[in-house]
Amino acid sequence: MKVKCMGTIIRRNERSWAIVIISEIKVMLNGLGLKIKSAGGESTLSVNKKSMFPDVLLYEDEAQTKILQGWELKMPDVLITDEALIADATRKAKALGLNSFVIWNFTYGKLYIQNKQGFFEEAKVWDGTSHIKSREDVTTYKAEWLPIIKEIVMTVNEYLVNGRIVTSSIVNTISDGLMTELIQRNKELVAENIMIESSKNMQMERRLKVWWNAFHEEYDKDENNMYSAYAKSVLLNWTNRVMFANAIKKYHNCAYAIKDIDYTTSPNDGNNIIEHIVEQGDFYNVFKPLEFNEVIPEDTWIDIVDYNQFLIENNIEKIEQGVLQDILEKTVNTAKREIRGQYATPYRLADILCQITVQDWNKDCADLCAGTGTIAKAIINNKAQRIHRADKAFMTTWMSDKYAYPLQIANIAVTDIHALNIPINMFTTDIFEVETGDKIKIKNPIDGSDIEEIIPQFGTIVSNLPFVEYNKVADDEQEYIAQWREKITNSTGIKFTRKTDLYNYIPFKLYELLVSDE
């Protein structure tokens, strides 16, 4: 039987056996007191493509937050020695941070364990059903292969008890392994799709070139192709939004709507679902869709849905607050690593900059070239340590950037799981356009209502100013540069030439936003 849905074929005659095995393992675990407590994987079994996830997952806890092992299942017509099968199982184990896997084709079963050199090697073979040769035999001899499944589970449990097999960290799995795997699997697919679509739409091509002109230096160490770089940004935009919604849903119930992103939806549906979360609870800078993020192939969308369904099945919202905070922080690190920007500020340096610059932590402080938010995070942390009020720490910290794109990462960076209901003073504007007394709109994270804030005079501004060479200044900033060159000459006598780099002008602009000396 084949069922077609959203262009995807679901092969129930094969995948249904995985669901049977998961159910049987759950039943056999009842009352045994093993280290293995549960089995899962049903939510990512639905599609006829190479899934990101194993067909069966074994867990150390009933809440399914601690993954022990993955199993890859095939029918007897796929040999147990098939190189593609072994490579696929290896790839999935590495993405999940696991040091073992099982492959099973109903004829044989094999356990692989990672050795000290990092290679997976065969540790155990089960051949008690070597007479099963066809798909029909799987049904006929079900009573014979089910006991083998139990043998495998018991053997795997022994390896877990003696320490040969170890549990993976859900923190690294969610925020690093799976995000990296999803990007690597899909970057070129998405890049090709974007290139094809932009060839039909000159407005789209022009928008991409504007983006590339602004951000290409951020990718110099990694990507020299506009389409590949933008594809990576699209994938990060989706993974960050999906991860963040799942992480906060226990504290912001509107985010439970993320479960609606399933195999029946499209990328446009996904954007609409996330927009609904924003309307009810803010985090706009995290959830804002990147332009053209819907221009992705179906296989990529299925991977994004897989990632979402994996987070749902693994009950990320049940993880303790400290671990959730770690996931958010490691997600930011992964995003920065994938972009490999030249100008990302290390947290220790940001912390030092703040401590040598800020005199009064009670006053409003800002980073108006916020980028990915490291300095703003350091400001908030230092304020919280000294004034002992999380609400005031956030309320007196301001951050902005010319581009919305890095503010997604910045918003995740400054998010505190213990302070999700506190509004964040974050806005998108060119630094030369920031004016004291201007009004900005932010969202109330409790109910999504608008809050109007007035930009104050700042006690301190701490920034790692962008290094943009004079001949690479964006066209829309050339007018500001000309105005400030004249203004600086008239007020100070300092004469900047047309070959003066952008960062030289910015301190003069920032100075007029500071509280006047009394």
Kindly give the confidence (pLDDT) of every residue in the chain, 518 residues in length, as a single tens digit, with 9 standing for 90 and above: 333 344 443 344 567 888 899 999 999 888 788 989 989 886 665 555 567 889 999 988 887 778 899 999 999 999 999 999 999 999 999 988 899 999 999 999 999 999 999 999 999 999 999 999 999 999 999 999 999 999 999 999 999 999 999 887 777 787 777 888 888 889 999 999 999 999 999 999 999 998 888 777 766 666 778 999 899 889 988 998 998 889 888 878 888 999 999 989 999 999 999 998 888 877 777 888 889 999 999 999 999 999 999 888 887 777 776 777 777 777 777 776 666 554 567 889 999 999 999 999 999 999 998 888 889 999 999 999 999 888 999 999 999 988 777 788 888 888 887 777 888 899 989 889 999 999 998 888 877 788 899 999 999 999 988 776 766 667 777 788 888 888 888 888 888 887 778 778 888 999 999 998 65
Q: Which CATH class is domain 14-166?
A: alpha beta
Range list for CATH 3.40.50.12420 in the chain: 342-517
pTM: 0.78
Local structure of residue 253 (DSSP, 8 states): G
Cα–Cα distance between 243 and 312 in angstroms, integer?
Answer: 10
Please check whether residue 238 is in contact with residue 230, taking contact to mean a CB–CB distance below 8 angstroms: no
Query: What CATH number belongs to 342-517?
Result: 3.40.50.12420
| Encoded tokens for 165 | 């097999």
Distances (CA, A) of 369 to 53, 99, 504: 39, 42, 14
CA pseudo-torsion sign 457, 459, 463, 466: positive
Cα–Cα distance between 500 and 238 in angstroms, integer?
Answer: 38
Local structure of residue 176 (DSSP, 8 states): I
Range list for CATH 3.90.1570.30 in the chain: 14-166
From the list 184, 186, 175, the residue with the least C-alpha distance to 97 is 175
Cα–Cα distance between 508 and 511 in angstroms, integer?
Answer: 5
